[in-house]
Structure 1
Amino acid sequence: MKNTNHDQQLHNDVIETLRETSRTFFIPISLLVTELRETVASAYLCMRAIDEIEDHPDLEPALKSKLLHNIGDVLQSAQYNKETFIKMFKPFENELPEVTLRLYDWISFCPDEIRVKVVESTAIMASGMGDWVDKDWQIQSEADLDQYTYTVAGLVGVMLTDIWKWYDGTEADKELGIGFGRGLQAVNILRNYKEDAERGVSFFPDSYSLDDMFDYAHKNLSRADEYVASIETETIVNFCQIPLSLAHGTLKALVDGREKMTRDEVNETVNKVIKKTS
């Protein structure tokens, strides 16, 4: 696969697509040093490409599952090129967003030395999400919840941990990295559970009360705090602190009976981290 890291147009496309697809991660990624910024941006877009398929409101579950499993199989085989994905996505080119249709571009933008790890995590996520589509997202036990949150968010922590090690040898704990992803996802579940219920979906295990899910979120955010505290590289810490601080703030707002943080609270939280980098 040709390394296109220095293709200015692709670079611009990566940054612009990131800006359009992620309010949570655009700012922290933009604070990273250049080499990490490009790597984390392209890695994030790889996973966002997969996530858009799972969340697509109009694709039939059988088609979602087939497409996700096909992507997982192709990525694990390492036998693919741009034409592979053009052909795979052709039947869905009018339904899928650009971030998904350009999956190969995001993969090709990753530096050669870390690309295999990014692809590995993306492949596991794609296959895992396909499995959850097949299960109709039925979460019955805490073990199911752990597996679901690992698939859709914990793998992000695994991938980031691999990227930190590639960048400067940072040896962060992958299990705590999984907690980082799980904590953010648990807060999302709590923030959206009423809306999810309206469409007949619940990510709460059968035995879970609302308090149990709050406990699950607190537990994993504590692991996320440990994860960040173990890292010494300032640019990595700053990246992690924004989504983690926002998750803590959102959880506090939910505990207080509010739906979300106020705009002023969000701006204050983000600005605290930004000031540390200036």
Structure 2
Amino acid sequence: MSALQPTLDKPESLTGLSDDEFQALLLEGVSRTFALTIPQLPENLYRPVANAYLLCRIVDTVEDEVSLSPDQKKIFCERFIETVKTGHGANDFAADLSPLLSEQTIPAEHTLIGLTPRVIQITHSFDPQQIEALATCVETMAQGMPIFQAQNLSNGLPTMADMDKYCYYVAGCVGEMLAKLFCHYSPEIAAHRERLLELSVSFGQGLQMTNILKDIWDDASRGVCWLPQDIFDETGFDLSTLTPETDDENFRKGLEHLISIAHGHLRNALTYTQLIPSHETGIRNFCLWALGMAVLTLRKIKQHLDFTQSNQVKITRNSVKATILTTRLTGRSNLLLSLLFNLTSRGLESPDWTYHPQSLKAKSAL
């Protein structure tokens, strides 16, 4: 261990860290939520899942970098896909990308890009099935996200099907990857492989839709809208007129419909979690904490449809602590989990809107 206190603003201090310590420190820098949930996983799952998140975050960093042109983003994404698949080219990738990152990219992500070679080295310490799961996810995400980045998003997405596709590229494919890793870890879990893979796409979409709804006004301030126009056609609202100053009852009716859709996906997330053996408490906690926080966020949005800033519907730290405590107490019982879900999500379904998630087979439709 280096005598230097390891911190992300001193990358050289990370040299002496073990792989787990190294990934934990990077996770803490780029996502406090996942730094909290991923360590709940069993040891044999923690390392590949932590690595997978860092790989996905590298793709996100490329896609979000304002200084890069669409062509540059495409080139860096293609290079990264090849690097993840083969284990080669990480040093050149990091050396070429790092100087191009702007100040709008957070310092922890600057550090992550610079440390790409070590991240990739860890990736290729896994067995072939795990590497394939990670590489497939990265490839899907890196090829799919630019499709939407190249669009004019100021008027929203045309249809709910487009939203399904977007959610698949940024979250559903991650859900599939996690399901594959869980099945690789446990033959008992693998007995439900096909159903888990199907539900995992819906799980990812529920979480992503919750984030989209929470961040509507932050996105609108940047001239971006991820909402589907066809849903709002039914309520009589034109998303091209959406601004941070919008105060329209027809818009709020559309939000209620989307909340109901997200709720349907989160119900599938509960089914997914209940298929995990009850003795796998670490995996269940990993799933339930994300699910619980999403349900509470949707509930706050439903209760405050006139919100104008994301922090108005962000759940409190006490709510996070309560979610953790409650799921630890009930997480082994499918019956109690169903009762808890029904109680906390009451009212999220719109009485005049029934949605049957069609994106469970989203991959085959893309």
1:99 to partner: Cα distance = 2.1
Alignment of 1:60-71 (within 5 A): 60-71=69-80
Q: Does 1:150 align with 2:173?
A: no
- Are the equivalent residues in 2 in contact too, given 1:75–1:123 (CA < 8 A)? no
Per mean C-alpha deviation after superposition, the further-off stretch among 151-160 and 233-242 is 233-242
TM-score by length of 2: 0.67
2:288 to 237, 241, 250: 241
1:112 to 117, 127, 139: 127
Alignment of 1:199-210 (within 5 A): 199-208=222-231, 209-210=254-255
Alignment of 1:164-183 (within 5 A): 164-169=182-187, 170-171=189-190, 172=193, 173-183=196-206
Per mean C-alpha deviation after superposition, the further-off stretch among 92-101 and 202-211 is 92-101
1-structure distance, mates of 2:46, 2:265: 26
Larger radius of gyration: 2
1-structure distance, mates of 2:221, 2:172: 26
- Are the equivalent residues in 2 in contact too, given 1:68–1:129 (CA < 8 A)? no
Q: Does 1:184 align with 2:207?
A: yes
- Are the equivalent residues in 1 in contact too, given 2:273–2:284 (CA < 8 A)? yes
Alignment of 1:211-250 (within 5 A): 211-232=256-277, 233-250=280-297
TM-score by length of 1: 0.87
Q: Which runs of 5+ in 1 are unaligned?
A: 1-6
Q: Report the counterpart of residue 4 of structure 1 in structure 2.
A: none
- Are the equivalent residues in 1 in contact too, given 2:67–2:102 (CA < 8 A)? no
Q: Deviations over 1:134-164 (max 9, x none)?
A: 2245621111101100000111101101110
Higher relative contact order by CA 8 Å / sep ≥ 6: 1 or 2?
A: 1
2-structure distance, mates of 1:22, 1:241: 18
1:77 to partner: Cα distance = 6.1
Q: Does 1:197 align with 2:212?
A: no
Matched letter for residue 24 of structure 2: I
Q: May I ask how many residue pairs the two structures share in their alignment?
A: 270
Residues 8 and 260 (structure 1), Cα distance of their counterparts in 2 relative to 1, 3 Å cut: closer
1:65 to partner: Cα distance = 3.4
1-structure distance, mates of 2:145, 2:164: 14
Q: Deviations over 1:72-112 (max 9, x none)?
A: 3x258637243342354255266662223433432321322
Could you say what the CA RMSD is over the residues aligned between the two structures, in angstroms?
Answer: 2.4
1-structure distance, mates of 2:288, 2:322: 13
Residues 215 and 136 (structure 1), Cα distance of their counterparts in 2 relative to 1, 3 Å cut: same
1:133 to partner: Cα distance = 1.8
Q: Report the counterpart of residue 85 of structure 1 in structure 2.
A: 93
1:199 to partner: Cα distance = 1.1
2-structure distance, mates of 1:105, 1:212: 44
2:208 partner SS: helix
- Are the equivalent residues in 2 in contact too, given 1:25–1:243 (CA < 8 A)? no
Identity percentage of aligned residues:
29
- Are the equivalent residues in 2 in contact too, given 1:64–1:133 (CA < 8 A)? no
1:252 to partner: Cα distance = 0.8
Q: Which runs of 5+ in 2 are unaligned?
A: 1-15, 104-108, 232-253, 305-311, 332-366
- Are the equivalent residues in 1 in contact too, given 2:65–2:101 (CA < 8 A)? no
